[in-house]
Amino acid sequence: MYFDVNTYGSIVAFFLGLFLRLGAGEYLIGFEPFLNYPGNSPTSIKFPYKTMAMVVSLLSLLLVSYVAKMIFKKRWLPPEYDILQCNLAGEGRSIETQRQDIKDTKAYDNASL
């Protein structure tokens, strides 16, 4: 299974989860539902729409992250089109690469003094 998520997957998952969650409405603030989930009525909620929104969001995070990584890794899109600067054509942008970049910067700064 693919667990190397990136910003592209995160953005899609956030907005998809938000859409599905708000689609059922929020009765406390007077927000009317615009998606009709099975078994729900204006007075009772029987469908686990929050759980469904979370699961769909998680799956879309994994799927979109994987597809975005493959698009840049196989050079279907050149690295210049990586507008979120995730460095998907290379090793990606992770905690480890950020730590290495910091070490390299400190070493460069110390060498230039």
Inform me whether the pLDDT recorded for 110 exceeds 90: no
- For residue 92, being part of any structural domain is answered with yes
Neighbours of 16 (CB within 10 A): 17
Question: What number is the average pLDDT over the span 61-76?
Answer: 91
- For residue 79, being part of any structural domain is answered with yes
- For residue 1, being part of any structural domain is answered with no
pLDDT band at 97 (very low <50, low <70, confident <90, very high): low
Question: What number is the average pLDDT over the span 77-105?
Answer: 72
- For residue 2, being part of any structural domain is answered with no
- For residue 81, being part of any structural domain is answered with yes
Taking the CA atoms of the chain, what radius of gyration do you get in angstroms?
Answer: 21
Q: How many domains does the chain have?
A: 1
- Which residue, 113, 80, 81, 87, is CA-closest to 101? 87
- For residue 16, being part of any structural domain is answered with yes
- For residue 105, being part of any structural domain is answered with yes
3-state secondary structure of 91: coil
Parent domain of 69: 7-112
Q: pLDDT exceeding 70 applies to what percent of the chain? A: 77
* Contacts for 20 with CB less than 8 Å, ≥ 6 apart: 35, 49, 52, 53, 56, 57
- For residue 95, being part of any structural domain is answered with yes
Inform me whether the pLDDT recorded for 47 exceeds 60: yes
Question: What number is the average pLDDT over the span 17-32?
Answer: 87
